[in-house]
């Protein structure tokens, strides 16, 4: 999920007839980074999704929603890399406008699925904690499939709007495999990408804060009930509260994981946007402007994708342990095959 890169660059400045002032090898370095980072992200996402699919005790709504989040995220970054690479290769071959900016709008589909998935994951944990019995009866595999499918179907609406609204204010920058925008294009960026990203992030944070407050309230109620009952563990009310607390603890790790991902996104955005805006105002250097516009900003989505899959793959213990188990098993098989005597 990246609200900073819709058509590939967050700028209203075009490369003029003289071209970019950056050295000629910079576009190649940017393309190599895109390809390498995309490959690494694909391998990590594939590893996490495969682990969730093949591990029976991970077949839970939360993990299915996480797999959908990571899948939509890698589709977003992969499509961007393919379009950017095709545009840059076409430019080097002399076909300056080999790909227009219209295909970039297709990336609105996986983008919206990604930001919707964050809200779905947070809402899923709220329902699991506050209404566990209703949750277990309701969240059947069919319902989970319908939720995932619904997220993709709803994402078609803003994608269609991006095409219907036209391409005014969007200009190809084939040398760097991206698009710049101004006027109507920038307004479209704000309306279709930035505002929904902000709303989804805030809503996800609110749901997580609500769960944190719920956990604190249950903890205080247990303390109060323990004092009133004289440490009598047979108190029905105390037993019910401890069940609530146990349920919250069971869901604590997924909640914290989601909070870490969202907080990281917000921190990166809060750090990157002022650097870009203030740098544009304070640093009177065309090299800096071109570097931020055509290299740093378009590649930021790859960093965010890597961050999210790293958190879910390594920080989330329930997924990390079976991932490592499969890796060790694969290494043992390869080692055995390499030392096995040949007939």
- Distance (Å, whole) CA 113 – CA 129: 24
For residue range 220-234, what is the model confidence (pLDDT) as tens digits? 666 666 665 555 555
Name the nearest CA neighbour of 222 among 210, 209, 235: 235
188 by Cβ neighbours in 10 Å (0-12 / 13-18 / 19+) ranks as: buried
Number of DSSP helices (H) and strands (E) in the chain, helices first: 11, 2
**What phi and psi values does residue 167 have, to the nearest 5 degrees?**
-115, 20
- Distance (Å, whole) CA 151 – CA 336: 44
- Distance (Å, whole) CA 10 – CA 178: 10
pLDDT value at residue 232:
52
pLDDT at residue 19 greater than cutoff 60 = no
Whether 214 and 255 have beta carbons less than 8 Å apart is answered as no
Whether 193 and 111 have beta carbons less than 8 Å apart is answered as yes
- Distance (Å, whole) CA 120 – CA 186: 28
Instruction: Please provide the average confidence, as pLDDT, over all residues in the chain.
Output: 77
For residue range 165-190, what is the model confidence (pLDDT) as tens digits? 765 667 778 888 887 766 666 677 77
For residue 215, the cross-strand partners are none
- Distance (Å, whole) CA 330 – CA 343: 23
Diameter over CA atoms, the chain: 83
Question: SS3 of 179, please?
Answer: strand
For residue range 250-306, what is the model confidence (pLDDT) as tens digits? 666 676 777 777 777 777 766 776 676 666 677 777 777 778 878 888 888 888 888
pLDDT at residue 336 greater than cutoff 60 = no
- Distance (Å, whole) CA 146 – CA 116: 14
311 by Cβ neighbours in 10 Å (0-12 / 13-18 / 19+) ranks as: middle
For residue range 20-31, what is the model confidence (pLDDT) as tens digits? 677 878 888 988
pLDDT value at residue 249:
64
Distance, first Cα to last Cα, the chain: 53
What are the percentages of helix, strand and coil residues in the chain, rounded to 5? Answer: 80, 0, 20
Structure tokens at 277: 């805006």
H or E segment to which residue 248 belongs = helix 236-282
Q: Is the pLDDT higher at 200 or at 7?
A: 200
Q: Is the pLDDT higher at 203 or at 156?
A: 156
Q: List the domains of the chain with CATH numbers.
A: 26-322 (1.20.1070.10)
- Average pLDDT score over residue span 193-218: 79
Q: What is the pTM for the complete model shown?
A: 0.79
In the chain, where do the E strands start and end? 170-173, 178-181
180 by Cβ neighbours in 10 Å (0-12 / 13-18 / 19+) ranks as: buried
């Amino acid at each position: 999920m990246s609200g900073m890169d819709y058509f590939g660059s967050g700028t209203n400045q075009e490369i003029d007839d003289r071209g970019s002032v950056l050295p000629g090898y910079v576009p190649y370095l940017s393309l190599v980074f895109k390809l390498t980072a995309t490959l690494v992200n694909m391998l990590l996402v594939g590893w996490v999704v495969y682990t969730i699919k093949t591990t029976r005790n991970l077949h839970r709504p939360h993990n299915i929603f996480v797999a959908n989040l990571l899948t939509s995220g890698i589709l977003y970054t992969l499509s961007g890399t393919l379009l950017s690479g095709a545009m840059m290769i076409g430019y080097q071959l002399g076909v300056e406008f080999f790909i227009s900016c219209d295909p970039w709008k297709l990336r609105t589909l996986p983008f919206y699925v990604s930001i919707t998935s964050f809200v779905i994951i947070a809402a899923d944990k709220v329902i699991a904690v506050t209404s566990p019995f209703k949750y277990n009866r309701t969240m059947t595999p069919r319902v989970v499939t319908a939720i995932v499918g619904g997220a993709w179907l709803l994402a078609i609406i803003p994608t269609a709007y991006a095409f219907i609204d036209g391409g005014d204010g969007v200009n190809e920058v084939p040398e760097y495999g991206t698009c710049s925008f101004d006027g109507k294009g920038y307004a479209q960026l704000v309306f279709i990408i930035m505002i929904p990203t902000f709303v989804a992030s805030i809503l996800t944070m609110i749901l997580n804060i609500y769960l944190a407050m719920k956990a604190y309230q249950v903890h205080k109620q247990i303390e109060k009930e323990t004092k009133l009952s004289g440490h009598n563990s047979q108190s029905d009310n105390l037993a019910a509260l401890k069940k609530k607390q146990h349920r919250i603890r069971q869901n604590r790790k997924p909640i914290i994981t989601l909070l870490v991902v969202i907080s990281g996104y917000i921190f990166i955005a809060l750090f990157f946007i002022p650097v870009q805006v203030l740098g544009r105002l304070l640093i009177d250097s065309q090299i800096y402007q071109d570097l931020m516009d055509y290299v740093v900003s378009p590649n930021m989505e790859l960093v965010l994708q890597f961050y999210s899959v790293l958190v879910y793959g390594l920080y989330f213990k329930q997924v990390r342990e079976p991932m490592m188990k499969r890796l060790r098993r694969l290494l043992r098989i390869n080692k055995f095959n390499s030392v096995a005597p040949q007939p």
